[in-house]
Structure 1
């Protein structure tokens, strides 16, 4: 019963978010990966032709497309968001959009993060990284994945965090806007679960962001209380980054 309630509540939230997003067409490949296109592909001989989400004309062998899975997900009318019942743990295909560099976040509010003496030293957080172990609650894990995809963030992976009660999320971000969107996606999902399924909350969400070159763009250990401040607008994403990033 709890599982059904969790799926229903989170599914409704992301359905609304997806309806507000721009229309897209999702191509599912036989290897399980996805390509986000602007509209349905056209068949030209043995190939499928389409325009990617960033406007690039693309051609792939038609034999690589899982036609049944592609038709099914697009018939649901969710764009590139997904129903919670659709579990996709495969590697996804990036659809980057040129944006300002993540390094600019360090200048969002000059002086806010400056500290004096011992306070300037970061709190040690060893081991915040991907692990070869699944988080203990697959439905909660999947709910956070849905939250990321509702914000059109597709390059991520999840695992158990530094403790069994912690969920770890690694996200590849392309610039400052995607970094802030990732924080919002995690915070809003956390806040929704806190209201509707408090007994299934991760004790913490450990978040590691990587920029285009694979370098760290920010590491966070977020509590439900932290997430609530961001999700309810008590703090802006920019201020949240400065206040909670682990340098």
Structure 2
């Protein structure tokens, strides 16, 4: 498994944006320009918009914050909309699934387009039950963070052998980046586990729920290792993958 984790780090893209992720005890995250400062009973940091903010120290998970930022995955992409307590310009909403598919089918995606799959039962959604293999779960989390996607949560999927990933995305480019991150991580972990004769630990399927900045559905997917390989190895583009694999 360590080999798979190492491969994840080696295979991901790097970004030139400078930022620092602050994790609160309620699980929410804030994006800062640089590391926070402790001043009395408060934690002070400068947001990506240049505003000085202060949060009570008791609300900050310092251990989780230090561990995340020590992973050396590069810096986070500044997402202004993360700073929920500030008055920010209204972002351009991520298109709905129907709008995006219609737009892509208008001629921007080359090659054959498969028919859209029906809505699965039970629904793809976050569950209180954790995925049974914690290290595999953590590997996917590190894969997302390697692509500077920090607003996510994981759980067991609709079956015990399925892993669920919920990722917040801001715009169509982040939809594509999230799909690239997840499929690359899935493919690399699959290769690592197979080399270590531990293929049984690989999730049978990965279920994905992408949410836009308004908290609305931006894409639902249930992918297999073979599906992940297609995008991870460049056989299809993220846009074509979206159209072919999205579930209504």
**Equivalent pairs, count:** 227
Q: Spell out the pairing of 1:97-246 with structure 2 (5 A cutoff).
A: 98-99=91-92, 101-103=94-96, 105-106=100-101, 107-110=103-106, 122-127=117-122, 128-198=124-194, 199=199, 200-246=201-247
Structure 1 residues 93-140: Cα deviation after superposition (integer angstroms, max 9, x where no partner):
935894552335231232679x9xxx9674341122222211121111
Q: Which has the higher contact order (CA 8 A, sep 6+)?
A: 2
Q: What is the CA distance between 1:222 and its match in structure 2? A: 0.5
Tell me the equivalent position of 1:85. none
Q: What is the CA distance between 1:170 and its match in structure 2? A: 1.6
Structure 1's 246 and 72: CA in aligned 2 closer, same or farther, altered over 3 A?
Answer: closer
Contact 2:94/2:218 (8 A) holds in 1: no
Q: What is the CA distance between 1:185 and its match in structure 2? A: 1.0
Contact 1:26/1:36 (8 A) holds in 2: yes
- Cα distance in 1 for residues equivalent to 2:182 and 2:71: 24
- Cα distance in 2 for residues equivalent to 1:27 and 1:15: 25
Unaligned runs of 5+ in 2: none
- Cα distance in 2 for residues equivalent to 1:17 and 1:136: 25
Which of these residues, 35, 48, 52, is aligned with residue 53 of structure 1?
Answer: 48
Structure 1 residues 7-47: Cα deviation after superposition (integer angstroms, max 9, x where no partner):
35414633774865533223344556543211133566654
DSSP-derived class of the 2:30 partner: strand
DSSP-derived class of the 1:169 partner: strand
- Cα distance in 1 for residues equivalent to 2:51 and 2:229: 38
DSSP-derived class of the 1:102 partner: coil
Q: What is the CA distance between 1:71 and its match in structure 2? A: 5.2
TM-score normalised by length of structure 2: 0.75
Structure 1's 244 and 55: CA in aligned 2 closer, same or farther, altered over 3 A?
Answer: farther
